[in-house]
């Protein structure tokens, strides 16, 4: 009898050890490297996986790069250099629910896109993501030569060894902002810059941040809609109309066999603590941890619904980089007082680098290597 109990005890211990190993393997699987053959199949990520549902987990291996070693990061995003006293916000990794998210591999991305041109088009949130990707690629190949150049609204980051160009074109609305005798007119029905978006292997668009600006921060004096000149209109309706014009341009001008198109999605702001059930916080100032869990109390912003509705109606298969929820959970990720304006401003719109935009690029990479 004693021998049986002893054998059972040994068996139980073995089962427990195996169970713990499986748990460890599962957690590591969500942190998987891309294999040497550069192939990641559906089973590695999950057949019914939504990369954009999940939660943030603390991870000492983050961030993916040290901003002090990124030679071209802009001051407004370098929160540590600007004196931010905490650094836990750098240590969070996005963990999709039930998914295996491949670890970002900059060398692999550069090999895949050798000889290719990638263009980000949009506002300062697009610039935020472009800056992040430059730092991530530089960290992957720190000894590789690169060139930086700017011409008008176009900025180019070129890695000659890989013949890869990662560019950014500043375009706040995607539709035209035209100077007239009467003032600046936002034309919701025309895209004059479209020709400069042609000929790229990949396009990543965004817009929304500037559509709500009023007063001195509003860059236009009038809106043109359907041939009518208006002093103002419902901003969400204007956004829908402008985005629909952009969608028609993509449908008519982009060949899906030659160019892949992404839309960045809506990057949230954190100017109201009630949105994350914190009545004592007016905004993102002093926030040092993400919202826990996988839901945001404030719900999805109406602009995100507009984006989904417009993309659904398109004939071109645009890939939505649905960053909204995962970014809503990161009330701690903004520059706040540690941006370009220092103590004169409180930036709860843009993001510190290293930080949340790195995750946008991790998800961008995950989509590229799995589909």
Tens of pLDDT, residue by residue over 135-147, are 999 999 999 999 9
Mean pLDDT of the 274-294 span: 96
Question: Which pLDDT does position 47 carry in this prediction?
Answer: 56
Choosing from 78, 108, 123, 124, the catalytic residue is 124
User: Count of CB atoms within 10 A of residue 234's CB?
Assistant: 9
CB 96 within 8 A of CB 52: yes
Look at residue 130 and tell me whether its pLDDT is greater than 60.
Answer: yes
At 345, the pLDDT band (50, 70, 90 cuts) reads confident
Tens of pLDDT, residue by residue over 180-202, are 999 999 999 999 999 999 999 99
Please say if 171 is a catalytic residue: no
d(CA 259, CA 20): 45
d(CA 189, CA 193): 13
Helix axes 356-370, 124-140, angle to 10 degrees: 70
Mean pLDDT of the 106-110 span: 97
Sheet holding 222-225, edge to edge: 176-180, 183-187, 222-225, 228-230
Please say if 347 is a catalytic residue: yes
User: In whole angstroms, how far apart are CA 107 and each of 67, 83, 136, 148, 259?
Assistant: 19, 32, 10, 19, 21
Q: Which residues lie closer than 8 Å to 28 by C-beta, 6 or more apart?
A: none
Q: Going by DSSP bridges, is the β-strand pair 147-151/154-159 parallel, antiparallel, or unpaired? A: antiparallel
Quick one: what percent of the chain has pLDDT higher than 70?
A: 86
Tens of pLDDT, residue by residue over 207-242, are 999 999 999 999 999 999 999 999 999 999 999 999
State the sign of the Cα–Cα–Cα–Cα dihedral 126, 266, 204, 359.
positive
Question: Which pLDDT does position 48 carry in this prediction?
Answer: 66
- Higher pLDDT: 45 or 51? It is 51
Question: Which pLDDT does position 169 carry in this prediction?
Answer: 98
Mean pLDDT over each residue of the chain, to the nearest integer = 89
Tens of pLDDT, residue by residue over 297-309, are 999 999 999 999 9
User: Count of CB atoms within 10 A of residue 346's CB?
Assistant: 18
State the sign of the Cα–Cα–Cα–Cα dihedral 287, 340, 126, 359.
negative
Tens of pLDDT, residue by residue over 4-50, are 444 445 444 444 444 444 444 444 334 445 444 444 544 445 456 89
Look at residue 89 and tell me whether its pLDDT is greater than 90.
Answer: yes
Question: Which pLDDT does position 309 carry in this prediction?
Answer: 98
- Higher pLDDT: 117 or 17? It is 117
User: Count of CB atoms within 10 A of residue 12's CB?
Assistant: 10
User: Count of CB atoms within 10 A of residue 165's CB?
Assistant: 20
What kind and span of H or E run contains 120?
strand 117-122
Tens of pLDDT, residue by residue over 154-183, are 999 999 999 999 999 999 999 999 999 999
Q: Answer whether 0.85 is exceeded by the pTM.
A: yes
d(CA 114, CA 165): 9
Question: Which pLDDT does position 344 carry in this prediction?
Answer: 64
Please say if 55 is a catalytic residue: no
Question: Which pLDDT does position 98 carry in this prediction?
Answer: 87
CB 82 within 8 A of CB 75: yes
Choosing from 138, 209, 334, 350, the catalytic residue is 350
Choosing from 78, 108, 176, 347, the catalytic residue is 347
User: Count of CB atoms within 10 A of residue 55's CB?
Assistant: 17
């Amino acid at each position: 009898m004693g021998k049986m109990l002893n054998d059972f005890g040994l068996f139980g211990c073995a089962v427990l050890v195996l169970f713990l190993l499986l748990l460890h393997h599962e957690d590591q699987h969500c942190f998987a490297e891309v294999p040497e053959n550069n192939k990641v199949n559906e089973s590695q990520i999950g057949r019914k996986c939504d990369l954009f549902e999940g939660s943030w987990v603390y991870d000492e291996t983050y961030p993916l790069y040290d901003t002090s070693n990124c030679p071209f990061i802009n001051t407004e995003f370098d929160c540590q250099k600007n004196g931010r006293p905490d650094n836990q916000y750098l240590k969070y990794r996005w963990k999709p629910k039930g998914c295996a998210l491949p670890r970002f591999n900059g060398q692999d991305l550069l090999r895949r896109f050798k000889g290719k041109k990638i263009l980000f088009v949009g506002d300062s949130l697009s610039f935020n993501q472009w800056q992040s990707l430059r730092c991530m690629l530089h960290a992957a190949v720190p000894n590789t030569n690169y060139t930086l150049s700017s011409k008008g609204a176009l900025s180019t980051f070129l890695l000659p060894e890989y013949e890869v160009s990662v560019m950014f074109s500043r375009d706040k609305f995607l539709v035209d902002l035209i100077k007239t005798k009467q003032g600046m007119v936002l034309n919701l029905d025309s895209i004059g810059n479209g020709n400069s978006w042609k000929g790229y292997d990949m396009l990543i668009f965004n817009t929304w941040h500037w559509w709500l600006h009023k007063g001195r921060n509003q860059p236009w004096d009038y809106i043109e809609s359907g041939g009518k000149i208006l002093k103002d209109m419902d901003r969400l309706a204007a956004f829908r109309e402008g985005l629909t014009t952009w969608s028609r341009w993509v449908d008519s001008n982009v060949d899906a066999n030659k160019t892949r198109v992404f839309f960045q999605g809506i990057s949230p702001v954190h100017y109201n603590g009630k949105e994350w059930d914190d009545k004592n916080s007016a905004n993102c100032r002093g926030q040092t941890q993400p919202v826990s869990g996988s839901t945001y109390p404030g719900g999805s912003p109406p602009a995100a619904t507009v984006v989904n509705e417009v993309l659904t109606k398109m004939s071109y298969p645009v890939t939505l980089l649905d960053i909204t929820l995962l970014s809503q959970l990161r009330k701690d990720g903004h520059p706040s007082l540690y941006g370009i304006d220092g103590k004169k401003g409180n930036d709860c719109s843009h993001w510190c680098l290293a930080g949340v935009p790195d995750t946008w690029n991790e998800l961008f990479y995950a989509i590229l290597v799995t589909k």
